[in-house]
Amino acid sequence: MTVTFNHTIIAAKDRNESARFFRELLELPEAPSWGPFTNIQLNDGVLLQFAEPPVEIQMQHYAFLIDDELFDRTYRRLRDRGIEHWADPQMRRPDEINNEHGGRGVYFKDPAGHAIELITRPYL
């Protein structure tokens, strides 16, 4: 068997709000949820499980590779919703996108404060 990434748990202040944020932003369908998790499933089968841990949430970085058409729609939603975004991870270029690695990218924060990156071309 080859190695593939299957799932991860993402800490959230409100698991339903965070899952809804990603579903709406990235145009993903609802997925079955259970126990302490609200789940969304990416197109490649990877499961994102949102949970509310009883500890202070530390910022994590999550990057999503998306196609150009979805990038356009997602970036429009970011702007329409007034979500702060940057062209760089240091947050020095607000309200911009980048053209790194032959594609486009943007950084913003999700409802729990995690750093989210959307890119249209992989780094490698």
Cβ(73)–Cβ(95) below 8 Å: no
Which residues fall within 8 angstroms of residue 34, CB to CB, at 6 or more apart?
A: none
Spell out the per-residue pLDDT of the chain, length 124, in tens.
Answer: 799 999 999 999 999 999 999 999 999 998 999 999 999 999 999 999 999 999 999 999 999 999 999 999 999 999 999 999 999 999 999 999 999 999 999 999 999 999 999 999 999 9
- What is the rounded distance in angstroms from the CA atom of residue 8 to the CA atom of residue 13? 16
The model's pTM is 0.95
- What is the rounded distance in angstroms from the CA atom of residue 88 to the CA atom of residue 107? 7
